[in-house]
A and B are shown apart, each in its own frame.
Chain A
């Protein structure tokens, strides 16, 4: 699988770390209720089809970015506007 890094172009998947569902909040604010914290920590969209997700180019530019990828075909899609 080639992953289109926005900074380095298409690179082999082994160079990347996966960050999962981009709709999950990356941080949990201290004023969050227990329900909000639980949702952010544990609950995921997990669709079959297009999925907005986080990737980290660990063995490259070391930048996090979001990408849209089809979880059924593994094809990377253009970011939705």
Chain B
């Protein structure tokens, strides 16, 4: 199957054709084959990162005898639980280069996958509440521009035009002195990213196997030989882990103790309203961020709960804090009702930056430690991880995100990129 096949591709013509038959005859987007006994590469975790890795392995490296194993349903973990923001407004060069590569992949993704990931470049504005905040944002904006990334400093007048609901009055709870915008940042449809990559990877022959939990990683003489699963043993000389909050569990199956703690992070949406917030807004001082979804809900989130958790649910206290932060910035939202809240498992590393790397176990590769920031990294994370697995060495873009940087001291300690367990 070819995702661009004129008969089955998503196109205006096929939309019209399927409308005539009540949309009952769309082809299935991917097969659900039983697992084969052996593959060249097995990827654990059917979220955005695992599926993107499978896609780039097949597309760019010719490795099509590969499988993605997912313990429940595709995109049911953090891919379906994030707040869908995509940005590359980082200060440090390794982060800037990596996330900018990701943003560039996002910009062509819907066309490349023949699947509308609804990438909307509505801009991301970080607010400054103090003079030192503003100085910090200027420094970050200059660093971004030097790295070839778009950044605009906004004064209060520009903010008033851009964010009419933002409280800029003299009686505002928190003064806003200015903001830094990355105009090319924005949001995307999270489920569509997983489904689009799954469909494209499947079309190239990758087996996507849901309801298949990995229960062990088999090794012989220090190298991987395959994985034990609830559907039996599957042999593979190379195994890639893309399991986010479960990285510690899968690592332990291979005898690894990782620099990762799993924490719960919550987010919520309000009831849907008419368009009112035309950008992603973040405040570093409040550790709060909000955007408006295409359905009209205000999407917001804030802090992790702050203790190790695999519960995918948390305390009302961080949600209270997020709401208080929201109302300090946007008092007009006080009458909105909360529609729902949820929690996801963050694999928090000790320096706040991810790991896309080989491990001490030969044939075992790790894509994890995404802290809060895994969604926007989905394309580049998969792109770099596929390169690392196929060539058995990292690409220059992900070489800094090694597992041994914690031992060597070459940490990527980007404040403002999200929290870490011990900096929090």
Residues of A within 8 A of B (CB): 1, 13-14, 18, 20-21, 34-35, 38-39, 41-48, 51, 53, 69, 71-74
Q: Which of A14, A43, A72 contacts B257 (CB 8 A)?
A: A43
Indicate if the CB atoms of A46 and B308 lie closer than 8 Å. Answer: yes
Report B-chain residues with C-beta under 8 Å of the C-beta of A38.
406-407
Which of B107-115, B122-130, B189-197, B258-266 interfaces with chain A? B258-266
Asked if A71 and B257 sit within 8 Å, CB to CB, the answer is no
Partner of B261, one of A14, A44, A72: A44
**Residues of the B chain whose Cβ atoms lie less than 8 Å from the Cβ of A1:** 315
CB-CB under 8 A for A21 and B261, given A35-B407, A42-B350: yes
Cα(A13)–Cα(B421), bound, Å: 17
Q: Which of A20, A39, A71 contacts B309 (CB 8 A)?
A: A71
Could you list 11 further interchain pairs (A-B, Cβ under 8 angstroms) beyond the known A21-B308, A72-B310? A1-B315, A38-B406, A41-B350, A43-B257, A46-B252, A47-B248, A48-B248, A48-B249, A48-B310, A69-B307, A73-B311
CA distance A45 to B259 in the complex (A): 9
Q: Report Cα–Cα, A43/B401, bound state, in Å.
A: 16
Does chain A have a CB within 8 A of B423?
no
> CA of A5 to CA of B257 in the docked complex: distance in angstroms?
29
Q: Separation in Å of the B37 CB from the closest CB of chain A? A: 29
A44 adjacent to B311 (CB under 8 Å):
no
Measured in the bound complex, the distance between the Cα atoms of B406 and A73 in whole Å is 30
Q: A14: which B residues are within 8 A, CB to CB? A: 317
B237 on the A face (CB < 8 A): no
How far does the alpha carbon of A69 sit from the alpha carbon of B315 in the complex, in Å? 15
Chain A-chain B contacts (Cβ-Cβ < 8 Å), number: 65
User: A53: nearest residue on chain B (CB-CB)?
Assistant: B308
Picked from A20, A35, A39, A41, the residue with its CB within 8 Å of the CB of B308 is A20
Q: A71 touching B406 by the CB < 8 A rule?
A: no
Interface of A (DSSP majority class) = mixed
Q: Please name all residues of chain B whose beta carbon is closer than 8 Å to the beta carbon of A73 when the two chains form the complex.
A: 311
Return A65 CB to nearest CB of chain B, in Å. 14
Set B262, B307, B310, B315: member contacting A18, Cβ < 8 A: B307
- A44, B421: Cα distance in complex, Å: 11
- Nearest chain B residue, comparing its CB with the CB of A51: B308
Residue B331 at the chain A interface, CB threshold 8 Å: no
Residues B315 and A46 in contact, CB atoms below 8 Å apart? no
CA–CA, A45 and B257, complex, Å: 6
Give the complex CA separation of A44 and B347 in angstroms: 12
Contact B258 A44 (CB under 8 A): yes
Write out the residue numbers on chain A whose beta carbons fall within 8 Å of the beta carbon of B421.
20
B306 is an interface residue with CB less than 8 A from chain A: yes
Contacts of B308 in A (CB 8 A): 20-21, 46, 51, 53, 71
A-B contact pairs, 20 of them (CB 8 A): A20-B261, A20-B308, A21-B261, A38-B406, A42-B350, A43-B258, A43-B406, A44-B261, A45-B248, A45-B257, A46-B249, A46-B258, A46-B308, A51-B308, A53-B308, A69-B307, A71-B310, A71-B311, A72-B311, A73-B311
Which single residue of chain A is at the shortest CB-CB distance from B421?
A: A20
The minimal Cβ–Cβ distance linking A44 to chain B, given in whole angstroms, is: 5
Which residues on the B side are within 8 Å of A43 (C-beta)? 257-259, 406
Contacts of B311 in A (CB 8 A): 71-74
Q: Which residues of A contact B259 (CB under 8 A)?
A: 42-44
> Can you list the 10 inter-chain pairs with the closest CB atoms, starting with the nearest?
A46-B248, A42-B259, A48-B310, A42-B406, A43-B257, A38-B407, A18-B307, A42-B350, A72-B310, A71-B308
Cα–Cα distance between A29 and B2 once the two chains are bound (Å): 60
Q: Which residue of B lies closest to A18 (CB)?
A: B307
Q: Which of A34, A42, A46, A69 contacts B262 (CB 8 A)?
A: A46
User: Please, how many angstroms separate the alpha-carbon atoms of A14 and B305 in the complex?
Assistant: 10
Q: Which residues of chain A are within 8 angstroms of B260 by Cβ–Cβ distance?
A: 44, 46
The CA of A41 and the CA of B408, in the complex, are separated in Å by 12
Contact between A44 and B257 (Cβ–Cβ < 8 Å)? Answer: yes
Q: Cβ of A44 and Cβ of B248 under 8 Å apart? A: yes
Residues on B with beta carbons closer than 8 Å to the beta carbon of A47: 248-249, 252
Cα–Cα, bound, A74→B312 (Å): 11
Complex CA gap A46/B248 in Å reads 6
Asked whether, in the complex, the Cβ of A39 is within 8 Å of the Cβ of B257, the reply is yes
Residues from chain B with Cβ under 8 Å of A71 in the complex: 262, 308-311
